[in-house]
A and B are shown apart, each in its own frame.
Chain A
Amino acid sequence: MQLIECPWCGPREETEFHYGGQAHIAYPETPSELTDTEWAQYIFFRANPKGLFAERWSHSGGCRRWFNAVRDTRTYTFLATYRSGEPQPEVQS
C-alpha cells in the first residue's frame, strides 16, 4: 500500500482515498448550445494515457476534500498532489 500526500492532511494510507478520474474537466460554459457529440465528449470521453495523468482524488476517509494529483499510470507513482483550483504543476516522470 502506498502513501498519498493529501494537500491538507499530509501523507495518509491509500485506503483512505477514493479515485475520481481525469482532472480539469470544466462544465460547459454554454450547455444549451452543445451538440450531441460535444455532450458525449463532456460526459463520457476521458483521456487514458500510458504515462503522466492529472486526476482527481478524494480524501474520503480523512478530511473528505477533493484534490488533484499527477500520477504515472505505468508505475502508479504519485509525482505531485495539489489543491483544486491550482494549476497542474510541471513534473517529470
Chain B
Amino acid sequence: MTSATPPGAHLPEHGDFLWRNPEPKKSYDVVIVGGGGHGLATAHYLAKNHGITNVAVLEKGWLAGGNMARNTTLIRSNYLWDESAAIYEHSLKLWEGLEDDLGYPILFSQRGVLNLAHTEQDVRDSVRRVEANKLNGVDAEWLTPDEVAKICPIVNVSGDIRYPVQGATYQPRAGIAKHDWVAWGFARKADEAGIDLIQDCEVTGFVTDGDTVTGVCTTRGDIACGTVALCAAGHTSVLLDMLGVPAPLSSHPLQALVSELLEPVHPTIVMSNQVHVYVSQAHKGELVMGAGVDSYNGYGQRGAFHIIERQMAAAVELFPVFARAHLLRTWAGIVDTTPDASPIVGHTPYRNVYVNSGWGTGGFKATPGIGWCLADTVAHGRPHEYVAPFALDRFVTGALVDEHGAAAVAH
C-alpha cells in the first residue's frame, strides 16, 4: 500500500436525505398506522388539501418496505362498476399530474394495458366492461386479435395455443410508475409539510375510552391521538383484532418476479385472466410478472414455487419470445383480500378510527386516489363520496361491489 487513502474515500458524499427521522412526540392530531404508499399519500393530502400537519405516520419497518416495494406497479382504471370506476379513475387523473404535484420524478409511463380475452365468456364480459368504462368516462376499446398484435407484436395471437387470444380490452391511459420513487416523493412532501414519518415503530395496542381511541401503544412508547387512520394492508386484521373489530379480510401471499435486464421488447402491459399472468417491462429492462395469490392465508411474505412455475408457463405460452429469458428474482407481499374483491374503507365501530384496507392485489394504482379520499374523510369526519360505497357495512346490507372480473388475474 503506497497511499494512506482509505478505500472508498473517493466516493461522493451521501446525498441529502429526503425526510427527517424524528423521535415520536407525545401526541398528534392524526396518527396514520402504516408507512406504505397509502399512508404516505394520505399524509401528503392531509397537509396539502386540508392544512393538517400535526400528523404522525407510524411504520413498523422502513418506509414503503412492504407491498409498496413489492408490487408490479400497474396503474389502470378499467373497472366494471360505477363505484370502482369513480375511485380508480380519480386516482388515475391524480397519477397524471403527480410528478408536478410532488416535484419529484416518478417515471409514470402511460403505455396502455391489454386485458386479453380467451373464451366466449371472456369476450362477452370484456365487451360489457368496455361499454361500462365508456359510460363512466374511462378510456376503453375492444380490440380484435390483429389489433392486439399491432399494439404488442410479441403476443402469440395464432390459433395454435391452448387458449387462443380472442381479443382484448385496451386502456391507452394505463401505465406503470417507479414505485419506490412514488413513495419517496410522497414521503418527502409530507416531511416538508412538518409531518413526522416514524420508522421502526410497531403498533402493539390501542388505548380506548368507550367508542374512542385515545392513544396508540407502540414499540417506541405510547402516543396520544385525535384520529387514527389504519393503512396497514395485509396486517389490517392484526390491528383490528387488537380493537376487537371483525372484518371480512383474508391475508394472502402475492408473488411477483422479474427476469434479467433485456432490450425493450414489450411496449405495453398485458394481463390475462384465463392464462393467468400479467407482464410489463420495467424502464430498466426487466420483465415484471405476477399472477394470482397463493390460495392459503399467509403472513410470510413468500409463497410456493409451483405458483411461480405456473405463471412462467402461462407467460411462455402467451409470449414465445420469453422462452429464453431467465428468472432473476421472485418475492412476495401480503395482500388483504375481501369477498367481493373491493376495498373496505371508512368508519369502524370506534368513532375516531378509520380503516383503509382490502385493496387486495390492486392497492398500488389506488395510491394517490385513496390518499386524497382518506385525507378528506379524516379531515371532515365522514366518508368521502368515492369511498362511501366501500364501507364495512356493505357485507350486512348486501350492497357488494363485485369486481372479481376487473380485479383480473390476481384474485
Residues of chain A touching chain B, judged by Cβ–Cβ distance below 8 Å, are 1-2, 14-15, 18-19, 21, 36-37, 40-41, 43-46, 48-50, 53, 55, 71, 73-76
Contacts and interface: CB of A to CB of B under 8 A. Distances in A.
A40 B298 CA distance: 23
Given A14-B306, A50-B235, A45 B395 contact: yes
B295 A45 contact: no
B298 A44 contact: no
Given A1-B304, A41-B246, A46-B248, A71 B296 contact: yes
A53 B235 CA distance: 16
B304 A18 contact: no
Contacts of A40: 395-396
Contact of A19 (B248, B295, B398): B295
Nearest to B295: A19
A48 B250 contact: yes
Interface residues of B, number: 25
A74 B299 contact: yes
B121 interface: no
A44 B248 contact: yes
Contacts of A19: 295-296
A55 B397 contact: no
B255 interface: no
Interface string B281-310: 000000000000001111110001110000
Interface string B215-233: 0000000000000000000
A33 to B, nearest CB: 16
Contact of B306 (A15, A21, A36, A41): A15
Contacts of A53: 297
A45 B297 contact: no
B250 A46 contact: yes
B241 A49 contact: yes
Interface in B242-256: 246-251
Given A37-B396, A75-B300, A76-B296, 8 more contacts: A36-B397, A41-B246, A43-B339, A46-B248, A48-B237, A48-B336, A73-B296, A74-B299
Return the 6 tightest CB-CB contacts between A and B, nearest first: A48-B237, A19-B295, A44-B248, A40-B396, A44-B395, A50-B299
Given A73-B297, A76-B296, A45 B247 contact: yes
Contact of A36 (B246, B300, B396): B396
Contacts of A45: 246-248, 395
Nearest to A14: B304
B343 to A, nearest CB: 15
Contacts of B241: 49
A11 B237 CA distance: 32
Contact of A44 (B238, B297, B304, B339): B339
A37 B249 CA distance: 16
B248 to A, nearest CB: 4
A49 B249 CA distance: 10
A50 B306 contact: no
A41 B247 CA distance: 9
Contacts of B336: 48
Contacts of A2: 304
B238 A50 contact: yes
